[in-house]
Structure 1
Amino acid sequence: MASTAPRQRRKDARPQELLDAALALIVEKGFAATRSEEVAARAGVAKGTLYRYYPSKDELFKAMVRENLSMHIAESAAQAAQYQGPIAGLLQQMMQAWWAKVGHGNAGVVCKIMMIEARNFPELAKFYVDEVINPSKRLIGGLIERGIASGEFRAVPIEATVHLLIAPMLHMLLHEHSFGEHDICHETMTAEELLDAQMALLLHGLLADSSRT
């Protein structure tokens, strides 16, 4: 069987090279200041080649979101649909897995960029809400509903509980890709330890058993 020609391998790799170049430039300069021709130059291709894959800078950013975030949400939803067992354990596993996949690296950077740029680019913000925020809320909310229906959880306000689960993740993500990058804020615990503490607090509360009414 003949091996793939170098030219074909290079062509197949171009979309990822363009996404990597775009992300690096956006981190350096911000979304608004990054120009398409700069992305093409950073990736070592002509501007026409960039437009062949991504017709606009908005489409380039959307591709970054789909690759780094949407894919992970879809994988988590598929795993949750097949899961049989206590929902509390699944939630804890998902929170740790989400941090491992998204908290570090490119996915976390994309999240931070969107939080910074959302006000200035409402169309991209709407895309992000539809592609990332709403599917994440549906996934977590659906698991809470399953826990309530099975009697594992008491009847809690689902939307508020979803926010309580997501908020610490966003806090850690912003810290990781802001203060953490400069090594100026030294935490004595890991993100994984914080997630474990969050889940224990959410599942068991602050009150001791003897104090419950």
Structure 2
Amino acid sequence: MPASKFLSDKFCAVRAKRERRKEARPGELLDAALDLFVEKGFAATKSEEVAARAGVSKGTLFLYFPSKEELFKAVISENLAGRFDDWNARFAAFQGGTPEMLRECMNIWWDHIGSTKVSGITKLMLSEGRNFPELARFYREQFVSPAHVLLRRVLQRGIDRGEFAPVDVDQAVYTVVAPMVFLMLNKHSADVCGTADAPLDPKRFLDLQTDFILAGLAAKPAQGRAS
């Protein structure tokens, strides 16, 4: 192979690799940011640490995300808020009973959020949200509110179909959310709620909590009139 052709091919390969690298940088930065925010918290994480973990300069980080606050919002949008279009479509097309829908909803949450490092964002917001009200507002608007809307739809579907007893749907949502929040806090708090003789099994715990919730929501059979 002529030397000129070899050098030309090598140059093209290097350039293509750099272009692919440039396109991948936003995703790599978001992955690095998620890791560090979960490990250290928002306040303790420095922008240069995120850039270093992603293998880019601080200037490159700010090219994509002008501030640490914007970076954190992008992490929320990418890992939490971006899931709702798919989830809403999935449950809109659901053909089974509402108890099965609610169970699937909680299992999907565990598989895609609760069991992953993304769940650390909730612990971070609970511990630091008061100090960063703008980020707390963004988290509520982009994740908490859409989650509540989805859960209210599920609960109201059960009531409308006679599968669930009439309940205060707005408050019942918190009953569904509570075991999820507990698991996220425990996962990112060195499993402080578990014990050696009875270790916490998150999946079994969530299944049991779902059983309790469904038993409480179950529509009661009509009582016959006394003769």
> Normalization by structure 1: what TM-score?
0.87
2:61 to 22, 47, 50: 50
State the one-letter code of the partner of 1:90.
M
Kindly, what percent of the aligned residue pairs are identical?
A: 45
Post-superposition Cα deviations, 1:94-135, rounded to whole Å, max 9, x if no partner, equal 101111111122211222212211000000000000001000
Which stretch of the first structure deviates more once superposed, 29-38 or 184-193? 184-193
C-alpha change, 1:179 and 1:142, in structure 2 (3 Å) is same
Matched, 1:130 2:112: no
- Tell me the distance in 1 between the aligned counterparts of 2:212 and 2:82: 29
Post-superposition Cα deviations, 1:33-67, rounded to whole Å, max 9, x if no partner, equal 22222322232212221111111111111111112
Post-superposition Cα deviations, 1:122-177, rounded to whole Å, max 9, x if no partner, equal 00000000001000000000111111111111211101211000001000111011
User: Gapped runs of 5+ residues in structure 1?
Assistant: none
* 8 Å contact kept, 2:129–2:136: yes
- Tell me the distance in 2 between the aligned counterparts of 1:110 and 1:21: 14
Q: Which has the larger radius of gyration?
A: 2
Matched, 1:194 2:194: no
- Tell me the distance in 1 between the aligned counterparts of 2:148 and 2:142: 11
> Normalization by structure 2: what TM-score?
0.82
User: Gapped runs of 5+ residues in structure 2?
Assistant: 1-11
Which stretch of the first structure deviates more once superposed, 141-150 or 126-135? 141-150
C-alpha change, 1:192 and 1:28, in structure 2 (3 Å) is closer
2:37 to 22, 26, 29: 26
Matched, 1:96 2:107: yes
- Tell me the distance in 1 between the aligned counterparts of 2:35 and 2:77: 17
Matched, 1:203 2:203: no
Tell me which residue corresponds to 2:162: 151
Matched positions, count: 209
Tell me which residue corresponds to 2:180: 169
Compute the displacement of 1:189 (Å): 4.7
Q: Which runs of 4+ in 1 moved over 6 A?
A: none
C-alpha change, 1:136 and 1:48, in structure 2 (3 Å) is same
Matched, 1:77 2:88: yes
* 8 Å contact kept, 2:79–2:118: yes
